[in-house]
Amino acid sequence: MDLVTVDIGGTHARFAIATIADDGAITMSEPETLHTEDHASFQTAWEDYRERQGGTLPNAVAMAIAGPTGGDVIRFTNNPWIIRPALVKEKLGVERFAIVNDFEAVAHAVARADEDQFIHLTGPEQPLAPTGRLSVIGPGTGLGVAHLYREPSGEYRVSATEGGHIDFAPLDQIEDAILARLRKRHNRVSVERVVAGPAIVDIYQTLAAMERKAVPDCDDIEVWTKGMAGEDSLAAAAVDRFCLSLGSVAGDIALAQGGFGGVVIAGGLGYRIRESLQTSGFAERFAAKGRFASLMATIPVKLIIHPQPGLFGAAAAFSTQHSGATQ
């Protein structure tokens, strides 16, 4: 069957037509990206996409949404749209739908993606375990964390979590200094304050203060750009430090969730820093768990490189929720 799959964030709404084959395999058309600020509501964006597709769309939709999906009204943090699940069929003219959190969708993508959609980061060079628990972590604007359990039957279950909001635990003097800087603004410092994209600014400013260097105010995009290009040695050091801290957090999440079948780093930021993850101290920090270091060394850690995991995962979630969806 065909359906519309949508990945909705604060700035963009990405649309594609997904096809679910009889064997459950999912293929997608080339995605189209619409700007949320150009549309008064999701319904008008849907109508725009429908016109771009010649005036008709499949009668099913899967939506991955950047935010909580429970309740009678779904609100977005960074755009004025709202979605009322009870009215989706009427407003969009569909018969079936699925709505999932965006990172829950990413975990569905991890469960369904082929082995060639992953890059090896650390641990044994073997595929993710076909059964048991896996942890999925995605540094982006925030820090997404999900739990994936694969049944021996081949079925799987996904749980969205708020693991990005556990307490940050510094491991050296530099991280002590980062924590001290953040504590000036936040009574409680979560790992999201240190290993999400915007955190690179605080890391950069902390390193500058430690070296007594005056650096210009800049946003996270500028720091990432200078650091990844090697144009600024301090920014490059901030990128390495980010990777170290991400390794520590990923290891903590695996221990907490029992994700011993594998850990997957997801998201656009993870992909952009893939070379830094492989050459920094990410691997050492991931395994540095004291008495559990030998256990951590047995966990394969991968980076998913699927170009649209949100869209793909939303379609996979629809397929899971609607058994017989190929009919």
User: For residue range 276-299, what is the model confidence (pLDDT) as tens digits?
Assistant: 999 999 999 999 999 999 999 999
Please report the pLDDT score of residue 75 as a whole number.
Answer: 85
C-alpha 133, offset from chain centre: 18
DSSP of 221-252: HHHHHHHHHTS-HHHHHHHHHHHHHHHHHHHH
Q: Are residues 289 and 311 in the same domain?
A: no
Residue 146 belongs to a domain: no
Q: Are residues 75 and 40 in the same domain?
A: yes
Q: Is 7 annotated as a binding residue?
A: yes
What CATH number is attached to the domain comprising 58? 3.30.420.40
Q: Is 8 annotated as a binding residue?
A: yes
Residue 96 belongs to a domain: yes
Residue 119 belongs to a domain: no
Please report the pLDDT score of residue 324 as a whole number.
Answer: 58
Which residues are bridge partners to 303 per DSSP?
Answer: 119, 265
Q: How much is the average pLDDT of 209-226?
A: 93
Q: Are residues 241 and 327 in the same domain?
A: no
Q: Residue 326: pLDDT band by 50, 70, 90 thresholds?
A: low
Q: Is the pTM of this model over 0.85?
A: yes
Q: Are residues 170 and 284 in the same domain?
A: yes
Q: Are residues 215 and 325 in the same domain?
A: no
Mean pLDDT rounded to a whole number for the chain: 93
Q: Is 9 annotated as a binding residue?
A: yes
Contact 2, 17 (CB under 8 A): yes
Domain enclosing residue 64, as ranges: 1-100+306-327
Please report the pLDDT score of residue 198 as a whole number.
Answer: 94
List, for residues 79-92, the tens digit of each pLDDT value: 789 999 999 999 99
Please report the pLDDT score of residue 70 as a whole number.
Answer: 82
Q: How much is the average pLDDT of 211-239?
A: 94
List, for residues 136-178, the tens digit of each pLDDT value: 999 988 899 999 999 999 899 999 888 999 999 999 999 999 9
Q: Buried (b) or exposed (e) across 31-51, using 16+ Cβ within 10 A?
A: beebebeebeebeebbbbbbe
Structure tokens at 280: 């920094």
Residue 127 belongs to a domain: no
Structure tokens at 303: 């980076």
Total number of domains constituting the chain = 2
Dihedral (CA of 182, 183, 187, 191) sign: positive
